Amino acid sequence: MALEQLLKIAVPALPLATLQYDRPYQDQLNNVQRLFYTRFVNAFNQITGPLGGQYIDCPNGLFFNTWEQLFAATNTMYPVVFDATYLHNAVQLQAGSTSKIEVTVGGVYNFQYTGQVLSDSSSAKTIYLWIARNGVDIGYSTRGKTVSSNNHLTDVAWGFDIDLDVGDYIELRASVTDTSLHLHAEPASAPHPGIPSGVMTVNFIAPLPNPRPTPP
């Protein structure tokens, strides 16, 4: 068996019973059941062992943006966009969208976002980030970051857990108080690789709670 996968277990094909006790039939039945239970126990032990997590197929995704994201107007909502996908196991950008991250397995997900913010002026200005699920803003989900320096790079980060059913999507939204603030990207320049304007990682962490909580 390859180390990178579990051996799949099929339903055993039990022989039909005889009308009277028959030793060969009983031996055959026992052998079939013994094989099934042996394979079942071996597979279960691999999952519960110290390295068992390597066999569990958990939904995950990683998305990033290789371009600048500018904000044309102040105090206006803009979705945070992504133009590249690195990981997408049951988590993907919704068809036709660059901002809506959709799941095909229901559960509680952890989202981690980091944006590279650049200021083009020395006045104090703020970028706000918040969460929307299926197009509806989540209450008390806003993070703010104030920047005062000119031509200064800084990170803005937002990590959160949220429950999503099959087909639900999350969108990170942003607004700025000054259009001289934007999410900055750079191409590779020796000795470092390129700088994305934003990166979002997504990981499944638990099944859906029952009942599901009501957002604030």
Nearest to 86 by CA among 105, 70, 101: 101
* pLDDT at position 3 over 50: no
Q: Of 50 and 154, which is predicted with more confidence? A: 154
Q: What is the rounded distance in angstroms from the CA atom of residue 28 to the CA atom of residue 193?
A: 63
Q: What rounded mean pLDDT belongs to the chain?
A: 91
Residue type, 1: M
pLDDT value, residue 67: 97
Read off the pLDDT of residues 168-213 as tens digits, 9 standing for 90 and up: 999 999 999 999 999 999 999 999 999 999 999 999 999 999 999 9
Nearest to 145 by CA among 162, 129, 130: 129
Longest dimension (CA), the chain: 93
Which range among 9-23, 67-81, 199-213 shows the weakest confidence by mean pLDDT? Answer: 9-23
pLDDT value, residue 1: 38
> How many residues make up the chain in this entry?
216
pLDDT value, residue 2: 41
Which range among 35-39, 103-107, 175-179 shows the weakest confidence by mean pLDDT? Answer: 35-39
Q: What is the rounded distance in angstroms from the CA atom of residue 86 to the CA atom of residue 100?
A: 16
Calculate mean pLDDT across residues 92-105: 97
User: Please, what is the end-to-end C-alpha distance for the chain in angstroms?
Assistant: 49
What DSSP assignment string belongs to 20-78? S--HHHHHHHHHHHHHHHHHHHHHHHHHHSTTGGGG----EEEEEE-S-B--SSTT--E
Q: What percent of the chain has pLDDT over 70?
A: 95
Read off the pLDDT of residues 123-168 as tens digits, 9 standing for 90 and up: 999 999 999 999 999 999 999 999 998 988 899 999 999 999 999 9
Nearest to 164 by CA among 132, 130, 198: 132
Q: Of 108 and 215, which is predicted with more confidence? A: 108
**Which band of pLDDT confidence, cut at 50, 70 and 90, is reported for residue 76?**
very high
Instruction: Report whether 33 contacts 64 (CB < 8 A).
Output: no
